Amino acid sequence: MTPGDDPALSAGGRDRSGSDLRNVIAMVIPVVMTTSSRALMDVADFVMITQLHSDAAQAAILPAQMIMWVYIVFGMGVVSLVNTFASQCLGRQQYRDCSAYAWQTIYMSVVAGLVILPARPFLSNVFAAIGHDPAVQVLELAYADVTLLSVGPTIAAAGLGWFFVGIHRPWTAMWSWPIPTAPRTKRMRSSRSASRVKIAPPTVLLCPSIYLVVE
C-alpha cells in the first residue's frame, strides 16, 4: 500500500483531519471556559469572605462547600449523561428526543433539590462531628443553608450546559457564565466594608438561578 492509497495519509485525509481538529477545539474552548467559571466563582466567594476580617468565616466556607458538593457533584455527574444521549439523538435527527433529554435534566434537578432538604436537621451533627470551634460551626451551617436551596438550580444549569454541548452548541452555555460570575467579581472588587460583603451569601442562590433562566 502506498501513502496515496491510505485515506488517512492522503492530502484529502490530512485536510479532513485538520478540519476535525478545528471542530474539536471549537467544542472544547467554550466547555473549558464554562467549567472554569465555577472555580472563579468559588475564588470570588472566598475573597469576599476574607474582607470580613473574620477567621471563623474563612475557616467555615471551605468545609461547608466540601460537604455540600459531595452531594451536588453526584447530581451533576448524573445529568452530564444528557451530553451523550442528546448527541446520539442529534445524529439520528430525532430532534424532539434531544429536547426531551434536556427536560429530564430539569426533572432530575428538581428531585435532587427536594431530596436533600430533609437532610437539613442533620447538617449540624455533621459539622459538629468535624470538630471545629462552635463559632465556625454556626457559620458552616449558615453557608450550607443557602447552598441547600441552590442544589436544584446548580444541577439543572450543569445538565442544560451539557445538553448544549451534546447538540453542538457549547457557546450557548459559555455566553451565560458571566451572569453568575460578574456579580461575585464585582463585589469582590468593590466591597470595602463588612456590611457590604454580607450580601455575598444570597448570590450563592441567585446566581445559579439566573444561569438556569438564561439557559
Amino acid 209: pLDDT: 34
162 exposure class (CB count in 10 Å sphere: 0-12, 13-18, 19+)? buried
Instruction: Give the pLDDT band (50/70/90) at residue 207.
Output: very low
- CA dihedral (16, 21, 27, 29) in degrees, to 10, reads -150
Grid cell digits, residue 90: 442529534
Grid cell digits, residue 147: 447552598
Q: Is the pLDDT of residue 156 over 60?
A: yes
Least confident range from 5-9, 35-39, 112-116, 173-177: namely 5-9
Least confident range from 63-77, 103-117, 200-214: namely 200-214
Amino acid 109: pLDDT: 93
Q: Is the pLDDT of residue 61 over 60?
A: yes
**Cα–Cα distance for residue pair 41/45, rounded to 1 Å:** 6
Amino acid 111: pLDDT: 94
Amino acid 190: pLDDT: 53
Percent of the residues in the chain that have a pLDDT greater than 90, as a whole number: 8
Amino acid 114: pLDDT: 93
Q: Is the pLDDT of residue 41 over 90?
A: no
Q: Is the pLDDT of residue 119 over 50?
A: yes
More confident residue, 47 or 113: 113
Domain boundaries, the chain: 35-214
**Cα–Cα distance for residue pair 187/183, rounded to 1 Å:** 6
Cβ within 8 Å of residue 105, ≥6 positions away: 79, 82, 155, 156, 159, 160, 162, 163
Amino acid 49: pLDDT: 79
Least confident range from 1-5, 86-90, 161-165: namely 1-5
Instruction: Give the pLDDT band (50/70/90) at residue 107.
Output: very high
User: Where do runs of H (alpha helix) occur along the chain?
Assistant: 11-50, 55-79, 82-91, 95-116, 120-130, 134-166, 170-176, 178-190, 194-197, 200-214
Amino acid 85: pLDDT: 92
pLDDT tens-digit series, residues 141-152 = 888 888 888 889
Q: How many other CB atoms are found less than 10 A from the CB of residue 136?
A: 22
Least confident range from 55-69, 127-141, 172-186: namely 172-186
Least confident range from 15-24, 92-101, 177-186: namely 177-186
